[in-house]
Amino acid sequence: MIQRPIYLDNHATTPVDQRVLAAMLPYFTDRFGNAASSSHLYGWEAEAAVQQARETIAQAIGATPEEIVFTSGATEANNLAIKGVAEASVNNGRHIITVATEHAAVLDPCRYLQSLGFELTILPVQADGLLDLTCLEKALRPDTILVSVMAANNEIGVLQPLDAIGALCREHQVLFHTDAAQAIGKIPLDVAAMAIDLMSLTAHKVYGPKGIGALYVRRRNPRVKLAPQLHGGGHERGMRSGTLYTPQIVGLGQAVALAIADMPQETDRIRSLRDRLWQQLCTIDGIHCNGHPTKRLAGNLNISISGVDGQALLLGLQPVIAVSSGSACSSAKIAPSHVLAALGRTDELAYASIRFGIGRFTTESDIDQAAACTIATVKSLRQVARV
């Protein structure tokens, strides 16, 4: 039997936790009802399961269950938030602000709106990946309707100061959206304390199934109005039509519940593994850590190594460890990461970047093997280059 590589790409996706799968399975078979069927037991069972998941997710972020709208994932949630606000608020303004290091699921909807006549400001970040709040404040205008800043970067793991951004947006009466796909279950999130008006979530970054996510939509102070992007049935209070995928929703709720319960100890354990990996990789000459050294996800380590071909490095690592050079949505493209470019990295360093994503099932042995493999591969590539 061929040995599978050690999985260290947990920012791309995570395996479904067995406890999550166990919670989901009955809703594929015995409890298969449609949550919108209100006249019999099968529908009641599905509706109760959906409501329980809604309550779990709401509690995890300090929201109310009525503020949770289920989607197919964070990409749809981002599109619903950004396009939905733009269409609903067009009479109040046409200016949107986002950040250069955002995921394509935010940047692309924003650019689409720009093609329709909306004005878009894409803010730079500092060399450590953090947004300069002074820069954000200067960009705000009377016609600004939305600011979208992700909670935790999918490539470099940098954590943006959500509370400060939220306070600034609230002061200027501008809606604040955050893509929290990488953050939910990994850092504390509180939509009230952070003055967040819209928050995008997904299950598959937190040991839940693919194909399910949610959008938090504030109902009070202020009440956020969204124009739906899917029509046909009026599900989810008219914001997102379509039969609710009960097994997936149950999986999302269970995944969030487990992550929140284990967050304090799991964060410490994963951070320890990340630091162990970095300490060993530091022996490589010309290595750089991308992003803020401490204000980052505990399980993220994004490195660049000078004088090494990035694709050759990835190929050399593949038999032993599964890692990527950046976002799974764009890693197949032969182009330097737009995130690393925003940090000021040269194309050479951006091409020679590796993203390690440490997760729930990573062990010390995995880390030590990954470090040894990386060091050996870099040494081999440099020897070949000198020949």
**Beta strand segments in the chain, E:** 6-7, 68-71, 95-99, 119-123, 144-148, 175-179, 198-202, 213-217, 287-289, 300-305, 321-322, 353-357
Give how far the C-alpha of residue 132 lies from the chain's centroid of Cα atoms, to the nearest Å.
21
Residue 334: φ, ψ to 5°: -85, 75
Q: Read off the tokens for 165.
A: 């951004």
For residue 119, CA distances in Å to 123, 140, 146, 193 come to: 13, 12, 11, 29
In whole angstroms, give the CA distance from residue 377 to residue 358: 20
3-state secondary structure of 102: coil
Nearest to 311 by CA among 381, 387, 358: 381
- In the numeric block, the tokens 């309707």 are attached to 145
In the annotation, is 329 catalytic?
Answer: yes
Residue 189: φ, ψ to 5°: -130, 130
Give how far the C-alpha of residue 235 lies from the chain's centroid of Cα atoms, to the nearest Å.
25
Nearest to 99 by CA among 58, 65, 134, 130: 130
Q: Read off the tokens for 253.
A: 């709720």
Question: Which listed residue (135, 289, 329, 373) is catalytic?
Answer: 329
Total count of residues recorded for the chain:
387
DSSP state of 83: H
C-alpha angle 146-148-154 in degrees, rounded to nearest 5: 170
Nearest to 269 by CA among 248, 247, 239, 299: 299
Bridge partners, 6 (sequence order): 321
Helices 104-115 and 74-88, axial angle in degrees (round to 10): 30
Residue 287: φ, ψ to 5°: -90, 145
- Catalytic residue positions, numbered: 329
